[in-house]
Amino acid sequence: MPNPPQPDPDTDSLPERTAQRSIAYLASTYPTLSMTFVLREVRGLRALGFRIETASINPADRPHEQLTSAEREEAARTYCVKSDGFAGALAAHGKTLALNFAGYWRGAALALRLGGTDPARLLLHWMYLTEALMVGQWMRRNKQRHLHVHLASQAATVGLLVQSVFPVGYSLTVHGPDEFYDVLGQHLARKIAAADFMVCISSYARSQLMNLSSHQHWSKLFVVPLGVDPALFSPQPARPASEPFQILCVGRLTPAKGQHVLLDAVDRLAAAGRRVHLHVVGGGPDEASLRTHAARLAHPECIAFEGAVNQDNVRTLYAQADAFCLASFAEGVPVVLMEAMAMGIPCVSTTIAGIPELIRNGIDGLLVAPGDHVVLANALAMLIDDNGLRERLAGSGRARVLERYNLAHNLEALAALFSAHVAS
């Protein structure tokens, strides 16, 4: 697989060489609790000398007082498209028509093609065009000539329209697997063809893009994993397992995360006489059904819903955990698993998508088939019963993060990729 170009040790330092690189980042929502990795990436690239400016279709996902200090800083400097309202949308249409007549109608034609014959989709894509014109005018005002988008979904469709109207570069970071469930609706083949290059967070994600594109586009697909700061997420002093055994799950409460399976697994452990306590951290559309499910279990006292917790507070929950579990049906490569592994917490997860690239079963953690609460309970029972196994997995898990998912190292690889493909 192609690897990103690496910094040349015989040239000037990376910050000096990239000082003139300027990139606009676009997201559907920024900052947001479920995508803290984007915030870390943006701030890390700035530290490496890039001029990164951020735009978000929607405002931050929480009230100002619930944001961390870093999130408040990012929100304050981020252009929020919807905050410009109808007046901003009308101005973007008028200014683009006046200054870039051909580009405007090129974008309008593409929006109509993407919308097809369905009136609802036509309206949706005309809204995407409006947002694209607003983003493009923001880029023009800020002299930005390259747009990068995380996730190849709705914001990437806006980015595709920006590129069709304005003379700017266009690139994406693809996570999967959500983008791969609606290939036609997300216009993935068109996005691959239009992009100057694409960052894939895993070989799994790259393989799916290869499957969706012709061989001529494969050379623009680069694997650059996400990462965490192993100094920030560092192991706590060794201690015996808690009584009861503390299991932590962090993630949005959505069907894809498989939390219903985890509830049944924990109930099975409790029914077998093991003293366990599961902490479910996060919010989302499945919260009501999960709370109802937990209340109907034989041992509901074993489940605690902690709600959404920001990055300033989540490390306290990690530090109290004896094991971390993610029972997902669909994932890219979850950053929460990296965080837990970096903190020396033995992890149990599932053999899906990019997770086996992060966790080697029996070496860095335990992996089980998705959707089976019995095998999940058995894997957790192995950790409860075997202190030596917990210690081995914890040590190897942190070593794996240090080797492959160290944020600083992976940011340098991403910076080198941007330096090679984004004009200064």
Q: Are 196 and 169 in contact (CB under 8 A)?
A: yes
**Cα 392 from chain centroid (whole Å):** 28
| Residue 3 pLDDT | 52
Mean per-residue pLDDT, 179-199? 89
Output DSSP code: residue 5: P
All residues at 6 or more sequence positions from 15 whose CB lies less than 8 Å from its CB, including other chains: 47, 48, 49
Question: What pLDDT is attached to residue 262?
Answer: 98
pLDDT band at 11 (very low <50, low <70, confident <90, very high): very low
Tens of pLDDT along 222-243? 999 999 999 999 998 777 777 8
Please provide the distance, in angstroms rounded to a whole number, between the alpha carbons at the two ends of the chain: 26
Instruction: Judge whether 252 and 328 are in contact, CB under 8 Å.
Output: no
What is residue 164's predicted lDDT score, i.e. its pLDDT?
98
Please give the Cα distance from 122 to 298 (Å, whole number): 50
Query: 5: pLDDT confidence band, cut at 50, 70 and 90?
Result: very low
Q: What is the DSSP string of 302-359?
A: GEEEEE---HHHHHHHHHT-SEEE---SS-S--HHHHHHHHTT--EEEES-TTHHHH-
Output the pLDDT for position 20.
63
Q: Shortest CA distance to 279 belongs to which of 238, 243, 324, 337?
A: 324
Strand partners, 303: 278
Who's near 234: CB < 8 A, 6+ residues apart? Answer: 342, 343, 344
Contacting residues for 289 by C-beta, under 8 A, at least 6 apart: 260
Whether 2 shows a pLDDT value over 70: the answer reads no
Rounded to whole angstroms, the Cα distance separating 201 from 211 reads 16
Given a cut of 60, whether residue 169 has pLDDT beyond it is yes
Percent of residues, the chain, with pLDDT higher than 90: 85
Least confident of 5-14, 15-24, 257-266, 334-343: 5-14
pLDDT tens-digit readout, 191-216: 999 999 999 999 999 999 999 999 99
Position 239 scores a pLDDT of 72
Question: 305 - beta bridge partners?
Answer: 280
- For residue 18, the model assigns a pLDDT of 39
Residues 82, 257, 350: CA angle, nearest 5 degrees = 140
Reference 350, options 190, 208, 177; nearest CA is: 177
Half-sphere exposure of 173 (CA within 13 A, CB side): 21
**pLDDT above 60 (res 9):** no
Distance of alpha carbon 250 from its chain centroid, rounded?
A: 14
| Six token digits for residue 372 | 């089976």
Domains and their CATH numbers in the chain: 14-227+406-421 (3.40.50.2000), 245-404 (3.40.50.2000)
Amino acid 230: pLDDT: 96
Residue 62 has pLDDT above 70, yes or no: yes
Better pLDDT: 292 or 179: 292
pLDDT, tens digit, 9 for 90 and up, residues 85-138: 999 999 999 999 999 999 999 999 999 999 999 999 999 999 999 999 999 999
Q: What is the mean pLDDT of the chain?
A: 93
d(CA 151, CA 197): 14
Containing H/E element for 108? helix 101-115
Calculate mean pLDDT across residues 307-333: 92
pTM for this one? Answer: 0.90
Q: What are the CA-CA distances from residue 196 to residues 56, 204, 250 (Å)?
A: 21, 20, 34
- DSSP bridge partners of 172: 149, 198
Tens-place pLDDT, residues 244-275: 999 999 999 999 999 999 999 999 999 999 99
Say what percent of the chain tops pLDDT 70.
95
Q: What is the pLDDT of residues 43-60, one digit of tens each?
A: 999 999 999 999 999 999
